[in-house]
Amino acid sequence: MDLSCEIPRVPPHEFPDPALDAAPAAGEQTAVLAGGCFWCVEAVLKELDGVISVRSGYAGGTAETADYDMVCSGRTDHAEAVEVRFDPARVSYGQILKIFFSIAHDPTQLNRQGNDRGRQYRSAIFTADEEQERVARAYIRQLDEADVLGAPIVTEVSPLDEFYEAELYHQDYAARNPRQPYIAYTAAPKVAKLRKHFGDRLKR
């Protein structure tokens, strides 16, 4: 299995900050993102300062098909996704998207990440409201215009209907299984890259 993804044209820390970002707000907010295997996306985003929790799950399909075996079959509308609860006073929605695009996955790969192939591994942003949609679409345009990835971004942006939490054994999987080959060769390097390029934005 090819566990690698494309290398961005510019280093992650040189990705531009979102020119349009969500307004600061009190209380918790939620972002739902899909970028290949949810183990990897969860492992990266849970390290960010201001992130309260990250849950792995499924988005884009129905309750009846929110099951790992069914989603893996590629015959559902679900994507493997994560639900990120965050404090917008400490980390903005746009800054989470910056890490999502620069570290967590390769948004130029259509319906796959490396050799993980199928619509369940698509790059997608499931928005909670119109503001999140505006920020997401604006940032995708900004990154494409700056050509930081060297190829067009194929990330889907669509309203979130429902997020379905994945089975218990998927939660915090990378932290609990650091020697599992997929984690060691895919998730761990992404976490290492995050720590190298964004060390000042991580939990202490």
pLDDT by residue (tens digit) across 10-45? 899 999 999 999 988 889 999 999 999 999 999 999
Residues serving a catalytic function are 37
The CATH architecture that domain 12-198 belongs to is 2-Layer Sandwich (3.30)
User: Over 70: is that where the pLDDT of 4 sits?
Assistant: no
pTM equals 0.95
| Residue ranges covered by each domain of the chain | 12-198
**180-189 pLDDT per residue, tens:** 999 999 999 9
Determine the Cα–Cα distance for residues 104 and 63; give it in Å rounded to an integer. 26
Give CA separation, 73 vs 31, 133, 182, in Å.
26, 29, 19
For residue 155, the surrounding DSSP H or E stretch is none
Question: Using an 8 Å Cβ cutoff, are 201 and 95 in contact?
Answer: yes
pLDDT in tens, 112-145: 998 899 999 999 999 999 999 999 999 999 999 9
